[in-house]
Amino acid sequence: MIKLNTKDLKAGMVTATPIYSKTGQLLFPAHTALTSQQIAYLEFYAIPSVLILPEDDVTKEILDGTSSDDMISYSQKIKKSREFHAFKVDYTKKTKIIKDSFNSLITSDKDYNPGILLSQISSLYDHHLTSLSVFDMLHNMRQIDDTTYAHCINVAIISRMMGKWLDFTDEELDALTLAGILHDIGKCMINQEILSKPSKLTEAEFGVVKKHPAMGVEIVDPYHPDDRIRSAILLHHERCDGSGYPYGKKRDEISEFARIIAIADVYDAMTASRCYRKGFCPFEVIATFEREGYEKYDAKYLLPFLTHIINTYMSNSVLLNDGTTGKIIFINKETLSRPIIQTASGEYVNLFKRPDLYIQAII
């Protein structure tokens, strides 16, 4: 174990012991691979130092699965896989290239080339996202790297995938992917302290965050971007019911790319925010979308998106909140987050008819 001052922690370091706040509240369990947001959280709680596992021990300790948490063990299965390791190495390289490209855009460097940005995502997409669930890969990367750059990569990949499901042409797919990469470039102009603040933002701080779509457009405008890309940067926080920002536009006033990217953006943000809790369960995220998503997002894009995600978990083993385990055998079209489960003892449980039960974790 290595004792490190909280200010010297780096994303990806793994806790050796549980971390408690001064009032005794458990902040993170042992063997948490810390994200930069979690490190900010520790600073917020004024935790002076943390015991970290030496890098050589991480694979063994983490992969031994000493935790009894089922969701963590699912995540461990993914992180242990060869595919994920190859993906992680490549993803980390791409994050650096995207960071450099954003910097040249911001500093109006004449060398800026959108083709470079695009090729980073296309090659990640083409080389890695075949066997394991794309969503699992992206989510596990976000636990390691939760910077704006990683978020932009994820949104670009998810948007590209949505475009494929919608039978977009290659030209449209490339434009949508580029819009996904650039959608939050305006955040590079916002103070990192505000962006990674673990507690609720003040009204003034939220006012600053709300400026990032306009700031993004200001950065890209000198390069004469495609209209579809420009509007996606400006309008990706608008919502179909008029509840979004900066203008409060409604469905038909929001461009198609902005409506698609809004879904990819919120999905990635929701799965990332769940890192603080015991684990990411896609069913929980999908249930949230089903509860409140159809007014805010375009059903034309939301429904195929949720259906595709759910289908990737068909036949997976799951844990219900009453402790029952079973396999997903049928997806209910009316409520995607409540499929039919066949339990270990051979019984069928239709979650659509059992509001008392829900999927707590994939195991």
Q: Which residues bind Fe ion (CB under 5 A)?
A: 184, 265
Nearest CB to Fe ion, comparing residues 71 and 209: 209
Nearest CB to Fe ion, comparing residues 45 and 245: 245
Antiparallel, parallel or unpaired: β 317-320 and 49-52:
unpaired
Q: How far apart are CA 84 and CA 110, in angstroms?
A: 35
Nearest CB to Fe ion, comparing residues 145 and 184: 184
Nearest CB to Fe ion, comparing residues 70 and 265: 265
Instruction: Report whether 52 contacts 110 (CB < 8 A).
Output: no
Smallest distance, Å, CB 37 to Fe ion? 14
Nearest CB to Fe ion, comparing residues 213 and 339: 213
Smallest distance, Å, CB 97 to Fe ion? 19
Smallest distance, Å, CB 230 to Fe ion? 14
Smallest distance, Å, CB 153 to Fe ion? 11
Nearest CB to Fe ion, comparing residues 174 and 265: 265
Smallest distance, Å, CB 198 to Fe ion? 18
Smallest distance, Å, CB 184 to Fe ion? 4
